[in-house]
A and B are shown apart, each in its own frame.
Chain A
Amino acid sequence: MNVNRLRKKYFKMYRRDLSDEDEVPVNSIVIYIFGAIFASILLAMFTQNIIKPIVINPFLLLLVVFLPSIVLIYLVFLAIKYFNLRIFSDRYSFAAIYTDLKDVPTQTVRNFINNKTDFSIIPLGGAIVRNFVPLRGGGREGFLVVDKNLAMNLGGTIFVMSDLIVTTVEALPTELRVRIKNHSLYKPYTKIYFGALEKRINGMSIVEYLDMQNNFIIRDFWALYDAVELYNEHLERMLNVSDSRVERLRSYDK
């Protein structure tokens, strides 16, 4: 009878399910690269007397060794920036060292009807990798100047809820222009991403839109919750029916 075999199969399956929880994630590409380097060096050591060495022009050797290395360093720099994307807007994403709006310097600007607006000034570029050499260079990709009320902390990243305009520092209001020009990371001809207009979705701001959807989402959640519970009740009934059938068949079997 295959009953015990089936039981063993399911038991194994559930055990595997549990054991997956504590696995240490290892990037396979890193393993392959270091494996390949190690294997090539071993092969080079063991075959230096057997295989004839290649004769190559020293400049050509420099070309094939140093150039990929320089490109590699540049790409690693870009990759570090990618893992440090901190600021997202409608179309743009920027690496920055700021993860919280509270740490960002602000500048108050008065408009022509004397209303005050606080603008956050964030130098773009640069990155910090945990337990690694920090990559400086904030401000290299310009500055983000955004109305403080239009930026939202997402817990590690900042969401700019504004349509950004790419401009130059000269086009900014005087207070902002002076503040950015005096910034330690300011470089001439730098780009400014300026956000003062709120992004609208179906005529609503993003927060209003999410609030409007709230009741529907809660309704959907409870519907799904109930559906799962009802399905479980149905499955439990089926299981009871199956159990009683198995019992009956076993009694016939005896």
Chain B
Amino acid sequence: MINKTIDIIIPSDEDLKINFLILLIGIGSFLLVVLAINDYQSIPNVEINPFLLISITIVPIVMIGYFTKIYVQSKSIHIFTPGGYFWSTLMLNNKTVLLPITNRDSKSVSVYYLIIPLGGGAIPNWLPYFGGGKNGFMVANKRLVIDLGGNVFVGGTPIKITVNSLFPTLRREVLNHKLFKGNPRKVPIYYVDLSMRVKDSDLERENINNEPSKLTTVGEIRQRHLSNIRYSKYLEEEVANRRSIERALDDALNNRRVVRENENNNNESNRL
């Protein structure tokens, strides 16, 4: 009786399961091969243009490769967030970035961010499919990333941005990530900085820049934060631009000074 109960509660996961489709394909291919071997003399052969043969055989095989990749992704670990987003991931090559920050009140805060490459996948006891980072990167506050022992839950709604809208240190770390490929303006970054449990009232601050805050909702404040980061990127480039102008002007003045000095020396030597 006890054994029977255990049998019911724990079904045999280890049983060899036969997929009917695979069985049918196997039988079908076997029959076709047997027919081809037995009848190759009695049934006349077919003539076909080689390019047509390529289009009807190789192209479906390429498509099979693509869909197999998706199948491997579907069986892999998933990272999911509020808002209905989910990605396959290998949870390898993750980077933890420490941001030591001194805020306006001269208090030091250590913020940990996690950079997770999205995409790629692996099925246990099967061929691994690598390629993390192909679907972009998740950049999330480490406190919001919950490893459930298989899947990973990130407890905040992500904002889809590009690497240029990241905090400068995070931007550098993402750009230096070994799986970061492609155009930095096109690789999607899913940025999670606030929990899904944060309400508008939780973010109230009496003063921002010694002025009463006009920002009221979480969305507005996040938007403002991101536009500030983009502004800092613009300022960095402007400073670099001005410095190059400064250097060019400096060089031009130096050259002119040297020419003038040479001219003066020549004049003096002529006079002598």
Contacts and interface: CB of A to CB of B under 8 A. Distances in A.
Q: Tell me what chain B mostly uses at the interface: helix, strand, loop, or mixed.
A: helix
A70 B67 contact: no
Contacts of A51: 49-51
A167 B9 contact: yes
Contact of B167 (A41, A213, A224, A250): A224
A166 B67 contact: no
A167 B13 CA distance: 10
| Contact size range, B | 35 or more
A236 to B, nearest CB: 7
Contacts of A66: 28
B101 interface: yes
B194 A79 contact: no
Contacts of A156: 83-85
B146 A206 contact: yes
Interface of B: 5, 8-11, 13, 21, 25, 28-29, 32-33, 35-36, 39-40, 43, 45-64, 66-68, 70-71, 73-74, 78, 80-86, 99, 101-104, 109, 111, 141, 143-144, 146, 148-151, 153, 155-156, 164, 167-168, 185-186, 193-198, 202-203, 205, 209, 221, 225, 228-229, 231-232, 235-239, 241-246, 248-250, 252-253
Q: How large is the interface on A (under 10, 10 to 19, 20 to 34, 35 or more residues)?
A: 35 or more
Contacts of A65: 56-57
B67 A72 contact: yes
Contacts of A47: 49, 51
A67 B47 contact: no
A3 B61 contact: no
B51 A40 contact: yes
Contact of A79 (B10, B52, B67): B67
Interface of A is mostly: helix
Given A20-B186, A218-B203, A235-B232, A223 B59 contact: no
A170 B7 CA distance: 11
Contacts of B144: 210, 213, 217
